[in-house]
Structure 1
């Protein structure tokens, strides 16, 4: 059973994913896979250079800041980049999935619903947090300006829109409460396998 895990930036997806890991559930993080593939795949490097120019890869590693600056206010370029990365991540995920042996796995992706990735999941979980809390977390984590954070958030669907598609919601405001929600959900998912 593939359980999709998503949430807007700053919602605490990684924290929730780590709680599932602590319960022995395998977790695949699509963004990490994308970053790894951008380092290792010659095909991706070639296509990203064609899209953004040689500046995108000054050496063997991508210039993430440059690439981000190219896509953040250009939805066509963002879509073109996603069309390079997403199929490679999907293939990598299938290889990873074939090696797992667990009652269910977590597939964590920032734009699960936006990209249609939820259609490949048996169940979906949306992690939410208050807007101000997300901004505080991102300022602390990335040392980002509020304007930059708001621009990144504007590229993602609202929690309200995602909630209509999600099977479960985890409200991530207090770590102990979040952990207990994960444990409850873990039991629900294990039991749904038996039915």
Structure 2
């Protein structure tokens, strides 16, 4: 079973991904791939150096936060960057999906639908929160201005659209336990089997 996991910035996708990893699933992390391709394909760094130079490089090292501030404020620059890096990320993601040996493998990719990677998995899951919650969490997490936070959210496919396209939706606007319970129900429907600790927690609640 190949599961495509997606969501928007500050929606809690990483929380869900970590939980699935704790259950023993193999995770193909799109954010990690974005870092790895910079080493695997040096021409990407060359492009960034030639395009932005000292604006995003400090002592020869890429400042990803500085890069983000530039490209998320300018749609043309963002598209130019994605045109260079995304084909390599997609190539690596597809390669690793084919190489994966586990019964349940998760492709954790923010741009799952945008890059057509939903075609490479069996089912898709969107981690969803209302816009107001997403904005509040992003402001708190990254220390951005409201303008910067709004720009980053708007630079992605709306969460409502990702929700519409997904086979399953996890509403992450409540407690972490509520989120985990939704994931457990989805996994149960997919035949994942008993989740360790779930029965003990159920018995504990019944005793209380």
Q: Which digits, 9 at most, give the CA deviation of each residue in 1:6-35, with x for residues without a partner?
A: 111111000011111111111111012102
Looking at structure 2, the residues matched to 161 and 71 of structure 1 have their Cα atoms a distance apart, in angstroms, of: 23
1:168 Cα deviation from its structure 2 partner: 0.5
Residue 91 of structure 1 is matched in structure 2 by 91
CA distance in 1, matches of 2:33, 2:2: 17
Taking the aligned partners of 2:65 and 2:25, their CA distance within structure 1 comes to 33
- What is the CA distance between 1:164 and its match in structure 2? 2.2
Runs of 5+ in structure 1 lacking a partner?
none
In the alignment, structure 1 residue 124 sits paired with structure 2 residue 135:
no
8 Å Cα contact 2:72/2:151 also seen in 1:
yes
Question: How many residues were matched structurally?
Answer: 191
- Mean Cα displacement is larger for which, 32-41 or 171-180? 32-41
Q: Structure 1 length normalisation: TM-score?
A: 0.86
Q: Give the RMSD, CA atoms, in angstroms.
A: 2.1
Deviations 1:87-113 (A, max 9, x none): 222233244334432112111111222
TM-score (norm 2): 0.81
Query: In 1, Cα distance between the equivalents of 2:161 and 2:94?
Result: 28
Which residue is equivalent to 2:9? 9
Q: Which segments of 5 or more consecutive residues in structure 2 lack a partner in the other structure? A: 193-208
Runs of 4+ in 1 over 6 A off after TM superposition: none
Q: Which residue of 1 aligns with 2:103?
A: 103
